[in-house]
C-alpha cells in the first residue's frame, strides 16, 4: 500500500483544534483507498518555544524534510509578543519557509455562492470571483540584509535577485496557463528600484509564455482595484510583503478569513496551511472554523500527492456542508440552519467524504 508521510504541526491557539478536524477528514479520504497516511507531529511556534526554548527546534526541520508534505495549523499569541525577534513564534515559521525553500505561496480566493452575503462587498462585485495570489515567500524585505534597530533609527532591506524573481514569475505563468491565462504583476516601480527590477525581470520571463497576458499594477492601485472590481484578476504575482498585505485583503472577498487555504511550495516538501492566524481569543472554545485547514489538506492532496479525486471529494463535501446550512459561529449570520462546533463541522465533512 502506498504511504504518504505527513509532518503535522498543530502550533498555537486554535491550531490544534483545526488540525484535528483536517486529520479526521484525511482519515475519511484514505479509508478504503489504495494509500494510507502516516502522521508525525512536530513542534513549532510559541508552544515549541515554551517547551524547547526555540520556536523551530532542529527536530522539526529534520522531520519536515523527511516527510512528503507538511500540514500546519497556526502560530503566535500575545503571550510571546515581547520576546526577542528570533524567539518569537513567527520567526519559527519564517525560518521553516527558508529551510524548506518554500519560495512560492499560492493563496487562492474563491467565493462560495452559499456564503455570498457574508462578504462586506456587494454581491454583484464578488459573484464568481476566482483569483490566485502568488506571493514570493523567501525573499524581499522579510529576509533582506542588512537589518537593524537601535535607539535612534532602524532599517530593513528590500532586495530581490534575478533568480528569485525568475523562479516565482515562472510559477505564476505556469499557474496562469492552467487558469484564465492572465498575470497581473504588482509592484511599486514608480518609487522603488527593487520594484523596477522586479518588473523588468517579469517582462523578460513573460517572453517564454506568449499565451499568457501580462499586466502590471502599482500596489496601492492593486489594493484599491481588489475591492473595486476583484473579477478583473486571475493570477496576481507579487513580492513577499505586498503579497502578505494583499492576500489578507483578498481573503475578505470570500466573507471570512476562516475559509481560505494556502500552499507554500518550491523546495522538495510543500507546506499547507490556512491563511488565518492562531486566534488566541477563541482558542479552546470549540468555535473555530476548520474549513480553511480542511481545504488546505485538499490542496496538499492535489499538489503534493497528485490525488486529484480525493481532493475533489473534500472540496465537494465542503460545498455540500455549506449548502446544507451547517455553519461555525463566524459565518452563522449567513444562511445557517444549524450553528455547529469545530468538531461537528469536521465530522460532517468527513461523513460526506466517506459517502461521496
Interface residues toward ligand IPM, by CB under 6 A: 90, 93-94, 244
> Would you say 86 and 218 are in contact if contact means Cβ atoms under 8 Å apart?
no
Tell me phi and psi for residue 216, to 5 degrees. -130, 150
CB nearer to Mn ion: give 15 or 346: 15
Distance in Å, CB of 18 to ligand IPM, minimum? 15
User: What 3-state DSSP class applies to 132?
Assistant: strand
Chain residue whose CB lies nearest ligand IPM: 90
Q: What, of ligand IPM, Mn ion, none, does residue 94 touch, CB below 5 to 8 Å by kind?
A: ligand IPM
What would the x/- binding string for Mn ion be over residues 152 to 191, using CB under 5 A? ----------------------------------------
Q: What number of chain residues touch Mn ion (CB under 5 A)?
A: 1
Distance in Å, CB of 248 to Mn ion, minimum? 6
Q: What, of Mn ion, ligand IPM, none, does residue 324 touch, CB below 5 to 8 Å by kind?
A: none
Which residues are identified as catalytic? 142, 188, 220, 244, 248
Alpha helices (H) in the chain, listed in sequence order: 15-30, 46-52, 58-65, 89-99, 123-126, 162-177, 193-206, 219-228, 240-251, 291-303, 308-323, 342-355
Distance in Å, CB of 245 to Mn ion, minimum? 8
Distance in Å, CB of 181 to ligand IPM, minimum? 27
Residues 253-270 as b/e (b if ≥16 CB within 10 A, e otherwise) read: bbbbbbbbbbbbbbbebb
CB nearer to ligand IPM: give 94 or 349: 94
CB nearer to ligand IPM: give 205 or 260: 260
Cell of 8: 503535522
Q: What, of ligand IPM, Mn ion, none, does residue 174 touch, CB below 5 to 8 Å by kind?
A: none
d(CA 65, CA 46): 21
For residue 353, CA distances in Å to 83, 204, 252, 301 come to 42, 44, 27, 14
CB nearer to ligand IPM: give 94 or 345: 94
- Provide long-range contacts, Cβ within 8 A and 24+ apart, for 112-116: 112/254, 112/255, 112/259, 112/319, 112/322, 114/319, 114/322, 114/323, 114/334, 114/335, 115/254, 115/255, 115/256, 115/259, 115/322, 115/331, 115/334, 115/335, 116/255
Cell of 204: 523578460
What would the x/- binding string for Mn ion be over residues 226 to 265, using CB under 5 A? ------------------x---------------------
CB nearer to ligand IPM: give 93 or 235: 93
Distance in Å, CB of 176 to ligand IPM, minimum? 22
DSSP secondary structure code for residue 308 in this structure: H
Tell me phi and psi for residue 136, to 5 degrees. -70, 135
Distance in Å, CB of 38 to Mn ion, minimum? 30
CB nearer to ligand IPM: give 112 or 142: 142
User: What 3-state DSSP class applies to 3?
Assistant: strand
Residues in the chain: 356
Binding site for Mn ion (CB under 5 A): 244
Amino acid at each position: 500500500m502506498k504511504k504518504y508521510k505527513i509532518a503535522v504541526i498543530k502550533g498555537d491557539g486554535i491550531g490544534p483544534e483545526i488540525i484535528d478536524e483536517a486529520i479526521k477528514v484525511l482519515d475519511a479520504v484514505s479509508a478504503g483507498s489504495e494509500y494510507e497516511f502516516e502522521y508525525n507531529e512536530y513542534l513549532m511556534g510559541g508552544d515549541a518555544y515554551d517547551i524547547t526554548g526555540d520556536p523551530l527546534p532542529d527536530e522539526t526541520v529534520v522531520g519536515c524534510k523527511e516527510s512528503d508534505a507538511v500540514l500546519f495549523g497556526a502560530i503566535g499569541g500575545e503571550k510571546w509578543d515581547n520576546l526577542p525577534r528570533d524567539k518569537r513564534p513567527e520567526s519559527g515559521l519564517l525560518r521553516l519557509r527558508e529551510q524548506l525553500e518554500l519560495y512560492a505561496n499560492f493563496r487562492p480566493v474563491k467565493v462560495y455562492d452559499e456564503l455570498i452575503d457574508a462578504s462586506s462587498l456587494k454581491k454583484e462585485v464578488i459573484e464568481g470571483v476566482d483569483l490566485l495570489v502568488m506571493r514570493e515567500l523567501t525573499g524581499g524585505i522579510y529576509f533582506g540584509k542588512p537589518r537593524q534597530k537601535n535607539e535612534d533609527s532602524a532599517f530593513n532591506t528590500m532586495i530581490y535577485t534575478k533568480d528569485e524573481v525568475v523562479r516565482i514569475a515562472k510559477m505564476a505563468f505556469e499557474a496562469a496557463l492552467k487558469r484564465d491565462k492572465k498575470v497581473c504583476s504588482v509592484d511599486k516601480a514608480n518609487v522603488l528600484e527593487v520594484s523596477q527590477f522586479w518588473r523588468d525581470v517579469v517582462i523578460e520571463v513573460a517572453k517564454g509564455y506568449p499565451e499568457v497576458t501580462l499586466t502590471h499594477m502599482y500596489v496601492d492601485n492593486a489594493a484599491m482595484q481588489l475591492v473595486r472590481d476583484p473579477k478583473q484578476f486571475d493570477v496576481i504575482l507579487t513580492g513577499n510583503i505586498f503579497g502578505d498585505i494583499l492576500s489578507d485583503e483578498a481573503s475578505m472577498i470570500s466573507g471570512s478569513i476562516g475559509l481560505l487555504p494556502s500552499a507554500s511550495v518550491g523546495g522538495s516538501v510543500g507546506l499547507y496551511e490556512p491563511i488565518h492566524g492562531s486566534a488566541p481569543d477563541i482558542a479552546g472554545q470549540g468555535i473555530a472554523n476548520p474549513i480553511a485547514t480542511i481545504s488546505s489538506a485538499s490542496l496538499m492532496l492535489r499538489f503534493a500527492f497528485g490525488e486529484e479525486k480525493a481532493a475533489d471529494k473534500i472540496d465537494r463535501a465542503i460545498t455540500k456542508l455549506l449548502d446544507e446550512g451547517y455553519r461555525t459561529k463566524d459565518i452563522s449570520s449567513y444562511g445557517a440552519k444549524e450553528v455547529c462546533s469545530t468538531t461537528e463541522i469536521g465530522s460532517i465533512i468527513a461523513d460526506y467524504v466517506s459517502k461521496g
